[in-house]
Structure 1
Amino acid sequence: MLLSSPALAEVPRMPSVSAVPPSGQLPLSSAKRQGTEYSDLAHYGYVEEEYYLQGTAPAITAAGKSLLEAPYTTRILVRKPADPARFNGTVVIEPFSWFGERAAGWILTRDYLLRRGYAYVGYTLNINKPEVDPKFIAATPEDTAAQIAQYGRIVNFDFMRRFDYARYAPLASYYDPQRFQRGDGPDPFVPQSQGIGAQLALLLKSDEAHGPLAGLKVERVYVDSWAVTAQVWMDYLDQGRHQQWRMPDGRPLIDAYMTGRMAYGEVGGEVLRVPRQMPGDVPFVTVYSQSELMHDVLEGIALPADSDQPRLRYFEVTGMPHLRLADLGTEHTEQVAADIGKGDDPQCRTLSDEPVQLVVAALLDGMDRWVREGTPMPKAPRVLRNGKTVVRDPATGNMQGGVRPPWVQVPSATYLTDQESGCGLIYDTKVPYSAQRLRQRYGSFSQYQQAFDNAKRASVEQGYLLPEDAAGLRPTAAPEDF
């Protein structure tokens, strides 16, 4: 790892913003629309606004070479306290996923962000539909066709324009699959992604009089990027953009990076776990679900050790699925066991759907305190490995090691990954314990509940659950399960 110096840093171009004219309906990914991204913004004293973000940004290859500068027009969705006194000085930015413009980070942290006074800015990284879409290049033509049939209608600017043409017809960014490759095929990521992210951070942190956060004094910008778009930020760090692009006074554009549910290199290119040009002045935090950690186990990829200088953390969260029903984007659906003829398979019937957003909120809070107070985040043990398999507790059936939420410390089910169960689902599943097994393990529901309460206290002490969230966390099993 290289802790590169920002001595030769440069200031990115300043983009421009303009309000998106009303179209008669709510923006795509709006928190005001009923669905997985809904929040009662008015209850928390928040407003939501949508803007066009326009500028000129470099088009960069996966290998880090800037080929040209090109104009772009994208959109940002802003949520901020209506009263500037409620603002805590930090704005979280997140690129929307290319599947249904999903704001995975918002879904996982919204309650925490709203009650703590953060501002949030989601932004679009997308392209016009190419003749051959690299997002759907699979091992066989049949697999490619199946992916297109499943997801083809919820990707690219085509999806956004079909959803609301009046709003999203102006959006445009540069893309050329012949000149931009990742691994053995066309790069599925927008070549201007890194420049757009840097320019957005510059805009937000510059307190522009006509900017989207005018009247709020922004002191910090955090990246919170989940699923496939996390790769954008690994590239950004690995290619040294953190050191290259700075504020005019030399401060970093980004004050902390959190990425999750993405095994870097999985969509082609190099397999990295630590950026080669690791920043020396801000944290880099990665959160793995059971699926991501199983990917690395099966591939024999070792995770780096945590360190305080550079500020690096990896968290493998047991009992955390790759995807929940609550995580789906607009018009996004996924098959369940009954859809593929496995409804009778006990390993496939029950989705793993625990409140993992509580763990993510605690981790984001820990990263925030690391930045503001200098208090290091906890160092979690890795999930135990035995070669290319994980070690599971024979008594509970669950993975050993890692971050262990209360529902894993005091389990009422065995939490599986699709790599192990073979269910053929994007969701992970669990096998609930029988009533007999619950009684044998805990005696009664009241004893189980007491053990669960003790586990909540342990998670709070470890830094993986916030006290205000622990109060509302209920045991996973119910009295009738006993």
Structure 2
Amino acid sequence: MERSIILGGMLLSLALTANAWAEVPRMPTAIAIPPSGQLPLSSARRPGTEYSDLDRYGYTEEEFYLQGVAPAITAAGQTLLEAPYTTRILVRKPMDPARFNGTVVIEPFSWFGERGAGWILTRDYLLRRGYAFVGYTLNLNQPAVDPKFIADTPAAEADGITQYGRIVNFEFMRRFDFARYAPLGTYYDPQRFTRGNAPDPFVPQSQGIGAQLALLLKTPATQGPLAGFAVQRVYVNSWAVTAQVWMDYLDQGRHQQWRMPDDTPLIDAYMTGRMAYGEVGGDVIRLPRRMPEGVPFVTVYSQSELMHDVLEGIPLPPDTDSPQVRYYEVTGMPHLRLADLGTQHTERFAADVGKGDDPRCQTLYDEPVELVVSALLERMDQWVREGTPMPRASRVVRDGKAAARAPSTGNLLGGVRPPWVQVPSATYLTDQETGCGLIYDTKVPYAKDVLGRRYGNFNRYAQKFEEAKAQSVKEGYLLPDDAAGLRPIATPQDF
């Protein structure tokens, strides 16, 4: 008995020592934003790329100021000070709390047009399955030299400002709706906060704001953004430039440092994508150095991002179940689609950059990759709730610092292969290969004679496409209810 007491005491002591540096973040305050006469930025009720019929799914949308005091952290992980902030959160939740499935997905809006890329890629799935969604703003007042536009040459910097300067920072938000967004502000000092040899483009308080938001959502309350909702899990779904914020969070050990009062995690799963981590500051990584145990870390790379890694010869981490790592290279997925643009966000087409006559630059691909991402989110959720590991996918086949392509189709070998790549009607390319000079990636549709030789006729092509859908469902990269609505990419008129 005495030996058991001593052993139990030793184990308790070790546990306390292991968690001695863990801490509960400061609790922020959420205040409902008074009506201003128009819908908020990034609203799902406004016609555009983020629109969803919330009423059809029985959802409501509300906007709050999020206020608190958060640490300002350098890219190297040093906390220099704590400062107040005021930002905003946009909350979508079922009108009936009984429909809530217990999980909140949080996503920082992109600094280009306040885009919610994760929302765009998963919204139908989230609404069908009863998730709550909370998007939040990570922005700053426009500095004299905006670090988002620092480039190798003055001409390139000026071009970036011309292209995107009107849709970034709090100034953009205030021009959009001054009454609503005038109070917003976060700390920034380009002299003290650098990444590589330049000012850090990421808000120094980003990590603390994310942690505090998760704490607020998981803490039962009688009023606030999710009052009356029993939140059991919070998932991160962060894409494009803001994905770097959550890579920093994990890499610097914040998952282990910032906890709930009962020492459980603030975040229960991390999905990030479409971001070449570390390239801004020269510290190229693909896996956090301080990987958390017991929660999934999932990376989803488009064909554009995976091609970057191929050309740069960047080694990829293996998929493992401990720690829980999955890394997906999705072929036939572009870096940006027309469906992914933020508010007042436009991008150049081939004709705008003098490439209008190049056949490789004329056709964007806008295939429904949201179906793949939604299936991956479903499988990540099953990993958290049921302990069922996510599927493992092969990597795209490398041939040195080049990606191997099938001679018969022109498409990449390996990786996650949606139905439109299994049964292709085009060759899917990236800007790194074509030199089109676009943020969009492009494809070259097969000519009629090529389609005819490959499939014979449209009906045979459509049948093969149905078989490919069934294969994707079997592999876990397409949900059965999404497969029903997925139509072949080519049409009878293409044959």
**TM-score normalised by structure 2 residue count:** 0.96
Moved more, 185-194 or 269-278: 269-278
TM-superposed deviation, 1:60: 0.2
Change (3 A) 1:5 1:298: farther
Find the counterpart in structure 2 of residue 46 from structure 1. 59
Say which of 440, 450, 473 aligns to 2:453.
440
Instruction: Find out whether 1:130 has 2:149 as its counterpart.
Output: no
Find the counterpart in structure 2 of residue 262 from structure 1. 275
Find the counterpart in structure 1 of residue 128 from structure 2. 115
TM-superposed deviation, 1:207: 1.7
Distance in 1, Cα, partners of 2:24 & 2:249: 15
- Residue deviations 1:201-256 (CA, integer Å, cap 9, x gap): 00000122222000110000000000000000000000000000000011100000
Instruction: Find out whether 1:61 has 2:68 as its counterpart.
Output: no
Instruction: Find out whether 1:92 has 2:117 as its counterpart.
Output: no
Distance in 2, Cα, partners of 1:348 & 1:59: 43
Instruction: Find out whether 1:339 has 2:349 as its counterpart.
Output: no
Name the SS for the 2:359 alignment partner.
coil
TM-superposed deviation, 1:269: 3.9
Say which of 181, 190, 194 aligns to 2:194.
181
Say which of 162, 165, 168 aligns to 1:149.
162
Q: Which has the higher contact order (CA 8 A, sep 6+)?
A: 1
Find the counterpart in structure 2 of residue 193 from structure 1. 206
TM-superposed deviation, 1:49: 0.1
Say which of 381, 384, 387 aligns to 2:400.
387
- Residue deviations 1:371-416 (CA, integer Å, cap 9, x gap): 0000000010000001111000000000000000000000000000
Aligned identity (percent) is 78
Say which of 266, 274, 282 aligns to 2:295.
282
Within 5 Å, which residues of 2 pair with 1:165-180?
Answer: 165-180=178-193
Name the SS for the 2:360 alignment partner.
coil
Say which of 231, 237, 243 aligns to 1:218.
231
Distance in 1, Cα, partners of 2:62 & 2:316: 40
Amino acid of the residue matched to residue 319 of structure 1?
G
Instruction: Find out whether 1:27 has 2:40 as its counterpart.
Output: yes
Instruction: Find out whether 1:312 has 2:301 as its counterpart.
Output: no
Task: Give unmatched runs, 5+ long, in structure 2.
Answer: 1-16
Find the counterpart in structure 1 of residue 22 from structure 2. 9
Distance in 1, Cα, partners of 2:151 & 2:219: 43
Find the counterpart in structure 2 of residue 426 from structure 1. 439
Distance in 2, Cα, partners of 1:481 & 1:472: 20
TM-superposed deviation, 1:298: 1.2
CA contact (8 A) 1:62 1:269 kept: no
Instruction: Find out whether 1:78 has 2:87 as its counterpart.
Output: no
Distance in 1, Cα, partners of 2:19 & 2:373: 31
- Residue deviations 1:259-307 (CA, integer Å, cap 9, x gap): 0100101222411111110001200000000110011111110111000
Moved over 6 A (4+): none
The structure with the larger Rg is: 2
TM-superposed deviation, 1:7: 5.0
Aligned pair count reads: 479
Change (3 A) 1:102 1:5: farther
Name the SS for the 2:361 alignment partner.
coil
Distance in 2, Cα, partners of 1:467 & 1:333: 34
Distance in 1, Cα, partners of 2:288 & 2:19: 16
**TM-score normalised by structure 1 residue count:** 0.99
Distance in 1, Cα, partners of 2:84 & 2:305: 35
Amino acid of the residue matched to residue 455 of structure 1?
A
Distance in 2, Cα, partners of 1:406 & 1:426: 24
Instruction: Find out whether 1:363 has 2:363 as its counterpart.
Output: no
- Residue deviations 1:410-460 (CA, integer Å, cap 9, x gap): 000000000001100000000000010001001111110110000000000
Change (3 A) 1:459 1:6: farther
Instruction: Find out whether 1:299 has 2:312 as its counterpart.
Output: yes
Find the counterpart in structure 2 of residue 161 from structure 1. 174
Name the SS for the 1:347 alignment partner.
helix
Amino acid of the residue matched to residue 368 of structure 2?
P
- Residue deviations 1:98-125 (CA, integer Å, cap 9, x gap): 0000000000000000000000000000
Name the SS for the 2:367 alignment partner.
coil
